[in-house]
Amino acid sequence: MAAAAAPRRDVQGPREESPLERKVYMDYNATTPLEPEVIQAITEAMWEAWGNPSSSYPAGRKAKEIINAARESLAKMIGGNPPDIIFTSGGTESNNLVIQSMVRHFRESQMAKEDGVEALGNGAKPHFVTCTVEHDSIRLPLEHLKEDGVAAVTFVPVSKVSGQAEVDDVLAAVQPTTCLVTIMLANNETGVIMHVPEISQRIKALNSRRVALGLPRILVHTDAAQALGKRRVDVEDLGVDFLTIVGHKFYGPRIGALYVRGLGELTPLHPMLFGGGQERDFRPGTENTPMIAGLGKAAELVSKNCEAYEAHMREVRDYLEARLQAEFGQKRIHLNSQFPGTERLPNTCNVSIQGPQLQGHLVLAQCRTLLASVGAACHLDLGDRPSPVLLSSGVPFDVARNALRLSVGRSTTKAEVDLVVEDLKQAVARLEGSA
């Protein structure tokens, strides 16, 4: 299976590396390297499609063609329609665009007395439902809206048994003023897959009753950043109205996109920016053609190879977990991302090596081969404080404090797993004073 080589951060030189001098990257949930085909697509666009996509001369027309082809590739990857894809700067913008758009849509509907919102009364605020383990680009915008008195928000706790936001709990949080339910498709730290299809089905059934009662329709959004490229993602199966796409999570460039079902017709979207009218006025600004070309190529590779990627990552991840248990003993290894009966991403192993001196950040500091993290990249300022995601998921404090998030990629090998396990063994020995 063709795949991008894992990033190498060691110094190249004439001498041969010893096994423990080699660096093994296991932080693919944080970011991924560009596939060679993606680099080629970006480079070709820089040379051949440097023109403004809104211009009529050849270089401009070429840029527009590349953008349209990329839009088609993204739509194919998620089972959607090309006109429903909007290019953005990344996942943070896509998530914020959905949230801010729903605030504006609620206000405008309230003012126009459309969709029966007069039943809510004057001064009603839009209400959002999400869960406690969302990415900061969902959590923080909603917290700010709540603090500013603009919106009401319910953060549904995830189950300490399944690690998931349970469907009944999400539905129980719905209020008359609820306008959006946003639940991530897969968690970035545990890899847990959420019940998005079931939530969408239940919300759809609820909406038919809400319309009869004169209440606004609830839309459903999922941040699919971690799932894309690791498992099949289909917007028809999910039943969502919005879906966030993040290129650098599936070996593409650091831009993103937003899927909006029936953009501007079935599903409202209001721009946060105003300018030259690009992206049909929903996201103006001269398009970044080379990066869009790379994003399209990355999506094309996922469409062609997703099953192979998934199978390879699962095999290597399962081998990693088995080797850790064999080396350290099952009583000492706590697999924080394993919840009975819960599906998870094929590449994610959140693990704690139990011991009073083995906090995750201390273990990583002692590693000479492993390149990984203790959790989400946006939470690296936590120090030795445990991950809020793990604590919310029922992982005990002392166990969560020792957590390592190991995420394998398309090119990770079992031989590299062996190097990492040996590296961890020596790091633990040094910390415990027995090296």
The whole-number pLDDT of residue 111 equals: 78
The whole-number pLDDT of residue 4 equals: 45
Please report which helix (H) or strand (E) contains residue 313, including its range: helix 289-328
Q: Which residues contact 241 (CB under 8 A, 6 or more apart)?
A: 219, 220, 221, 260, 261, 266, 267
The whole-number pLDDT of residue 277 equals: 85
Do 86 and 257 contact (CB within 8 A), yes or no? yes
The whole-number pLDDT of residue 380 equals: 54
CA 107 to chain centre: 29
> If you ran DSSP here, which 8-state letter would residue 186 be given?
B
Residue 306 among the catalytic residues? no
Do 250 and 229 contact (CB within 8 A), yes or no? yes
The whole-number pLDDT of residue 13 equals: 41
The whole-number pLDDT of residue 385 equals: 84
The whole-number pLDDT of residue 123 equals: 79
* Residue 38 token pair: 């993606």
The whole-number pLDDT of residue 109 equals: 85
Q: Which residues pair with 373 in a beta bridge?
A: 405
Nearest to 414, CA basis, from 319, 310, 303, 291: 319
Do 309 and 406 contact (CB within 8 A), yes or no? no
Q: What is the model's pTM?
A: 0.92
The whole-number pLDDT of residue 16 equals: 52
CA 117 to chain centre: 33
The whole-number pLDDT of residue 56 equals: 92
Residues in the chain, pLDDT under 50: 1-5, 7-15, 115-117, 435
Do 351 and 367 contact (CB within 8 A), yes or no? no
Do 358 and 332 contact (CB within 8 A), yes or no? no
